[in-house]
Amino acid sequence: MHSNSDSRRRRLSLSLAASSLVGLVGTLLPASAQAQAAPWPNRPIEMIVAYAPGGGTDLVARLLARHLEKELGATIVVQNKPGAGGAIGFAELARATPHGYTIGFINTPNLLTIPIERKTTFTWKSYDLIGNLVDDPGAFTVNQSSNIDSLATLVKYAKANPGAVTVGTTGVGSDDHLAMLLFEKAAGVKLTHVGYKGAGEVRGALAGQQITIGAINVGEALAYQKSGTPLKFLGQMGLSRAVLAPNVPTFREQGYNIELASLRGLAAPKGLPEPVRKKLVDAMAKVAADPQFKQQADAMFAPLRYLAPAAYAAELERGEAGFRQLWKEMPWQEK
């Protein structure tokens, strides 16, 4: 028979051996594997923005990142991956490893229209949706000195002068360009498209009276107005009047059934672990409801419209169907 003392010594010896083995395994494991074994998040998170620094999406992304850091307890680093109308950034986000350390903004209509125009490595279904944040309606603006002051006077002038009305947009297939095409169809007029590299160039052309119409999103146009650009609104393309521009009538109010906006939301590569996905979704919802965040977003003229993942998916599906139908009726690629 063994004494109780012998049994205790054996148990202690086994316990020490097990502890040494665990320590040895931890030492031998790569740092990345140790990090993955720890609760998420335990290292910096990358947030991809598919557009250049200083633009509307970039500014909102950096504001969101600061607030998400507080909710998640991790550093978030914004990485700009501009080019090809957003396709470069969208593709990089779609092919990233779905571990929760790469998230990014996805923007409509480009996210929806690019895969319709050409073969891509992504569609909106390539992502786990975290939530939509911004819904910036399209708008038509003119120089402050213009005699055109409503869609009715625009149509009257355009019909009397076919092709004379020039419309500045951020390029073929953009929400601005599609808005022009939809208005041509609805109003029975012929307009002339002038594409620019960005909304800033459209603003400059409008201020210099080089174009008749500036197709600029509401939030961007309000920011330009505040900075001194002499422009005025003809109408906005939201379903209802934007909170930031309550005095600007919608296209619907003026008799044109056109609803078009730029949704900007957060997503991650498809296949996130469910606990990670839930943490991201919950954190996004909390930030979107935070009064301080809302106040800061209003100050940068970012029209907020939070959509939880299911509602966001429904909106993207509806938008995709509409753009596919539009492509059949009037392909927006220019020869």
Instruction: Over range 176-184, report the average pLDDT.
Output: 91
Q: Is 36 exposed, middle or buried (0-12, 13-18, 19+ CB in 10 A)?
A: middle
Instruction: Over range 6-24, report the average pLDDT.
Output: 49
**What percentage of the chain has pLDDT greater than the value 70?**
88
pLDDT recorded at residue 17 = 46
pLDDT recorded at residue 26 = 45
Torsion of CA 180, 186, 191, 193, to 10 degrees: 20
Q: Give the whole-angstrom CA distance, residue 33 versus residue 290.
A: 35
User: Are 250 and 144 found together in one domain?
Assistant: yes
- Report the relative pairing of strands 166-169 and 213-215 from DSSP bridges: parallel
pLDDT tens for residues 101-117? 999 999 999 899 999 98
- Beta-carbon neighbour count of residue 12 at 10 Å? 10
pLDDT recorded at residue 9 = 55
Candidate from 63-77, 171-185, 224-238 with smallest mean pLDDT:
171-185
- Write the DSSP assignment of 284-333 as a string of letters: HHHHHH-HHHHHHHHHTT--EEEE-HHHHHHHHHHHHHHHHHHHHHS---
As a whole number, the mean pLDDT across the chain is: 88
Instruction: Over range 279-302, report the average pLDDT.
Output: 96
Residue 15 lies in a domain: no
H or E element in which residue 262 lies: strand 261-269
Q: Give the whole-angstrom CA distance, residue 48 versus residue 61.
A: 9
pLDDT at 293 over 60: yes
* Residue scoring higher pLDDT (16 or 295): 295
Instruction: Over range 177-196, report the average pLDDT.
Output: 92
Residue 37 lies in a domain: no
pLDDT at 38 over 80: no
Is the separation of the CB atoms in 202 and 168 below 8 Å? yes
Residue 193 lies in a domain: yes
Candidate from 85-94, 153-162, 286-295 with smallest mean pLDDT:
85-94
Domain count across the chain: 2
Residue with tokens 């028979």: 1
User: Are 162 and 246 found together in one domain?
Assistant: yes
Name the nearest CA neighbour of 56 among 115, 105, 123, 127: 105
Residue 38 lies in a domain: no
- Beta-carbon neighbour count of residue 318 at 10 Å? 10
Residue 170 lies in a domain: yes
CATH number of the domain that residue 117 is part of: 3.40.190.150
pLDDT recorded at residue 158 = 97
pLDDT recorded at residue 175 = 84
Positive or negative: CA dihedral 246, 248, 252, 255: positive
pLDDT tens for residues 223-253? 889 889 999 999 999 989 988 899 999 999 9
User: Are 299 and 214 found together in one domain?
Assistant: no
pLDDT recorded at residue 169 = 87
User: Are 126 and 149 found together in one domain?
Assistant: no
CATH number of the domain that residue 242 is part of: 3.40.190.10
pLDDT recorded at residue 72 = 97
pLDDT recorded at residue 172 = 77
Residue 114 lies in a domain: yes
User: Are 265 and 128 found together in one domain?
Assistant: yes
Residue 121 lies in a domain: yes
pLDDT recorded at residue 15 = 47
Read off the pTM: 0.77
pLDDT recorded at residue 274 = 97
pLDDT at 25 over 50: no
In a 13 Å sphere around the CA of 13, the CA atoms on its Cβ side amount to: 6
The pLDDT confidence band at residue 265, using thresholds 50, 70 and 90, is very high
Residue with tokens 């600061």: 66
Domain end (from 254, 285, 310) = 254
Domain end (from 208, 233, 254) = 254
Report which residue type is found at 269.
Answer: P
What percent helix, strand, coil does the chain show, rounded to 5?
50, 20, 35
Residue 242 lies in a domain: yes
User: Are 158 and 233 found together in one domain?
Assistant: yes
Q: Give the whole-angstrom CA distance, residue 80 versus residue 67.
A: 19
Distances (CA, A) of 13 to 7, 16, 173, 257: 10, 5, 71, 80
How many residues does the structure list for the chain?
335
The pLDDT confidence band at residue 8, using thresholds 50, 70 and 90, is low
Instruction: Over range 175-197, report the average pLDDT.
Output: 91
Supply the range of the domain harboring residue 314.
45-135+261-329
User: Are 189 and 223 found together in one domain?
Assistant: yes
Distances (CA, A) of 77 to 43, 49, 86, 91, 252: 11, 10, 19, 18, 40
